[in-house]
Each structure stands twice: as C-alpha cells, then as structure tokens.
Homo-oligomer: A and B are copies of this chain.
Amino acid sequence: MLNVYLSGEIHTDWREQIIEGARGLDITFSAPVTDHAASDDCGVEILGAEPNKYWHDHKGAMVNAIRTRKGISDADVVVVRFGEKYKQWNAAFDAGYAAALGKSLIILQQPDHDHALKEVDAAALAVTRTPGEVVRILRYVLSGAL
C-alpha cells in the first residue's frame, strides 16, 4: 500500500485526474484543503478575527500546517504540482520539506518552468508533465506493469 500526498496548485482538477486514473490501485491519497476561501480564512473563522492581514494569514497558515505536516509525514510519495501562474512558494516549501524527510518526490510541471525549478527537480525522482504520467508511475511502482 502506498501513501501519496498531492501538494501544490489548487486551481485545476489534476488531483481528481490522478485519483481517478489510479482507481483500483492500493493507494491512499491525501492533500491540503483545496477550498481556497476556507484555506485562507480557517484561522480567523475558528480562532477569531484579526484586524491585521498578516496575522489573519498567519493564523490560517498555522492551522493548515496541522493537515499539511501530517500528510507529508505519513506519505511514501509526495507529488508537487506547479501551475502556470502565481508564486506557489508553498508548493516549493512542501517539496523542500518532503525532500529533507527523505520522501520520494514527483514533480508535475510544464517545460517553461524547468529552469526556475531546477533545484526542486534535482531533489525529485521523477519530473512529469501530465497527471497521466504520475498515474503511470504510481501504477508501475505498485504493480511493475508499464
């Protein structure tokens, strides 16, 4: 059985594609909260409003970290997807965090980001371009079938 954590970009359905594609494989998937508004506001929603945006964000990021750290710590494989837009520093942070813990890292990104991601890719065991490639790797890792 494989634990796979799906980190990074939250604006497209790449997670669903991987999970759907991996149907039938003995994999438990986990992921951060992908509801953008909930993820941004969870801290102040639960723990009380903050007039200062910095602390507003901070409280949310801390609460989300409970889920994120659990997900990465329990994972055998961490897939990190970088999308076309946005800074996505949390994705790169997760990749570094996972690498330091010795997790097997799979990066999912487009070629135009290759140069900017070269240090991240250097810590990965596979750099993929499509969710389908991730699925094929997971299937091969579990079953040995190409």
Give the oligomeric copy count: 8
Q: Nearest-CB distance from A83 to chain B (Å)?
A: 12
> Closest residue to A69 on the B side, CB-wise?
B104
Number of chain A interface residues as a range? 35 or more
Structural contact, A66 and B137, CB atoms closer than 8 A: yes
Q: Which residues of A contact B (CB under 8 A)?
A: 2, 33-35, 38, 41-43, 45-48, 52-55, 57-70, 76-77, 82, 86-102, 104, 106, 111, 113-129, 133, 136-137, 140-142, 144-146
The 10 closest A-B pairs by CB, nearest first: A96-B96, A92-B92, A100-B100, A61-B122, A96-B97, A93-B96, A90-B119, A33-B144, A89-B92, A57-B118
